[in-house]
Amino acid sequence: MGLFSKDIKTMDDLFVHQLQDVYYAEKQILSALPKMIDKATNPSLKQGLQSHLNETETHVQRLEQVFEMHGAEIKTTKCPAINGIIEEANDVAGDVEDKQVLDAAIIASAQAVEHYEISRYGTLVAWAKQLGRADCAAVLEQTLREEKSADTKLTSLALGGVNRAAA
């Protein structure tokens, strides 16, 4: 179903579509993160990605919870945007030989993923509130906070030495 598919008639349909999109994205991230953890060399980066992998499992569960709260079927809609971000991450990682440069590349890719999620969850929270679903918004906001904090930690790692080591 494309974004402007005729199946989306109301704001409610749009909200559910976006939930399905993010649900797909989180599942893709769940399968992409272990490869990034594997390739990362910096111990803090490895550990940070690992803890975000654990959080990502919770993100999937929270989305399932919101589908249920909203009385919508738990299903995915293919999200070409996240596939593109992950594909590019794999391409770049495959091209980098120097381990320290690879760490810098992994951080950049991971931040692209986080920024995507922050954008999607920000929209979902706003739409949930607009639809009078403050309860759904509260659940989605928990994930939004974790995405923002993952992004902040990645920035600290980059500025705290990974970029310098790579340069």
Q: Site residues (CB under 5 A) for Fe ion? A: 56, 59, 117, 147
The minimum distance between CB 110 and Fe ion, in angstroms, equals 8
CA proximity to 93, closest of 82, 80, 81, 109: 109
Helix runs in the chain, H state only: 11-39, 43-69, 80-95, 99-130, 134-157, 163-166
Return the number of the residue (18 or 56) whose C-beta is nearest Fe ion.
56
The minimum distance between CB 15 and Fe ion, in angstroms, equals 18
The minimum distance between CB 4 and Fe ion, in angstroms, equals 25
Structure tokens at 129: 């509130």
CA 57 to chain centre: 11
The minimum distance between CB 103 and Fe ion, in angstroms, equals 18
Return the number of the residue (21 or 117) whose C-beta is nearest Fe ion.
117
Return the number of the residue (70 or 115) whose C-beta is nearest Fe ion.
115
CB-side neighbour CA atoms (13 Å) of 153: 17
> Which residue type, as a one-letter code, is found at position 98?
D
Structure tokens at 60: 């999937």
Return the number of the residue (5 or 149) whose C-beta is nearest Fe ion.
149
